[in-house]
Amino acid sequence: MTIHSLDLDPIALKLDTSVGHISDLKIRDGGRILSPLHRAPWVDDPRAEFPAGTAPNVKRLSGDFFCAPFGRNDIEEAPSHGWPANSGWDHLETISREARVTIAFRLKRQVMGATVEKRLTLIAGHPFVYQEHSLTGGAGAVSVAHHVMVHMQAGGDLAFSPKHSARTPSEPLEPDASRGRSVLAYPAQTSDVTAFPLAAGGLVDLTRYPPGDRHEDFLTLVEKVRELDGGSLGWTAVSRTAEQDHVIVLKRPEVLPVTMLWMSNGGRDYAPWSGRHIGVLGIEDARASPLGHADSCGENEFTRSGVPTAFALGQHQEIIVRQVIGACAALPEEGKMSGIGVDSDCLVLHFANGGTRSIRYDPGFLAV
């Protein structure tokens, strides 16, 4: 394990370059230090046991990592979520100029023949990590995703940019009841994220986490088609109850047209999970099908409705994927978030009670 650190007030960040995971993220907000990202309990446990074949991304599971491809590898041999989430990165350079610092890395392996690079940027006074990944060259096609993980001690409220639908795949993550359990219905679909079908009957509000006890669930939120034309901001906001903060994840919907939610709340009984992976929400902004690389590269339920699920690679092709992660302390009067917008050099948070709040942000980063 090799850790690279990046510090620029208000952010201190660590990257585990053995697997490309953001292993730690601290954000100062006034007198508070926020820790918005999750780190699996076994990562720092030298006695942890792993079944044969456990992927490195599970052993080192933390923070956020870049997937290429997303999920199952059934075209090119590699662990689940691809080499970017499972193998080493070389440090290329660190650049400091004009109150910002950027650290750059290159993946030691290639993905479908493409060279993959990672750039993390911090800007003085901004409570955000600005991430860019590029894939240059290669052949064929590849799905991609970010794999942000947020931990909630006592649940919280969720809010999203406009979505066309929410849908679960044909089978739950753990179909074998001796290994785990789910609470959502599979398959199921709804256009109302506040009314998703449960396996036992009835409906649950997906804007409240968790939706049940001791469960492992997965679903995909699909952007509205009009959001795929460009120019709009895609976002997910997690307002954590016990932590009293807002965790914010931003994207361009036309680049990453789905947001997959992984709800990991003590629903897996086998090692290393062993019922202790609790209160975790994965926010996986993606251009991908949840069924794996091959499904993402062919016709599937998403492409049939005009939602792309892979990027085409090429000898002279460069693909750039950008994403932003940040957090701020919650104020007592704010309540539930209802929207996010951009105004000049600020991100504007809108709340259900009619209030607003502005925090420093670089709108040009996602405009490219």
Dump pLDDT digits (tens) for 110-154: 999 999 999 999 999 999 999 999 999 999 999 999 999 999 999
d(CA 95, CA 11): 16
When pLDDT is averaged across residues 67-94 and rounded to a whole number, the result is 97
Dump pLDDT digits (tens) for 311-330: 999 998 999 999 999 999 99
Does position 180 have pLDDT exceeding 80, yes or no?
A: yes
The answer to whether residues 305 and 202 touch, using CB atoms and an 8 Å cutoff, is no
Q: For residue 101, what pLDDT is reported?
A: 98
DSSP-based three-state secondary structure for 356? strand
What's the predicted TM-score (pTM) here?
Answer: 0.96
The answer to whether residues 71 and 55 touch, using CB atoms and an 8 Å cutoff, is no
The answer to whether residues 321 and 133 touch, using CB atoms and an 8 Å cutoff, is yes
Does position 226 have pLDDT exceeding 80, yes or no?
A: no
Closest CA to 61 of 129, 148, 141: 148
Does position 69 have pLDDT exceeding 90, yes or no?
A: yes
| Mean pLDDT (the chain, rounded) | 96
The answer to whether residues 55 and 79 touch, using CB atoms and an 8 Å cutoff, is yes
Q: For residue 224, what pLDDT is reported?
A: 84
Domains in the chain and their CATH numbers? 3-367 (2.70.98.10)
Q: For residue 20, what pLDDT is reported?
A: 98
Q: Spell out a b/e string for 234-250, using b for 16 or more CB atoms within 10 Å of the CB, else e.
A: bbbbbbbeebebbbbbb
Rounding to the nearest 10 degrees, give the CA dihedral for residues 60, 65, 70, 75.
-70
> In angstroms, how far is CA 288 from the centroid of its own chain?
13
Dump pLDDT digits (tens) for 192-208: 999 999 999 999 999 99
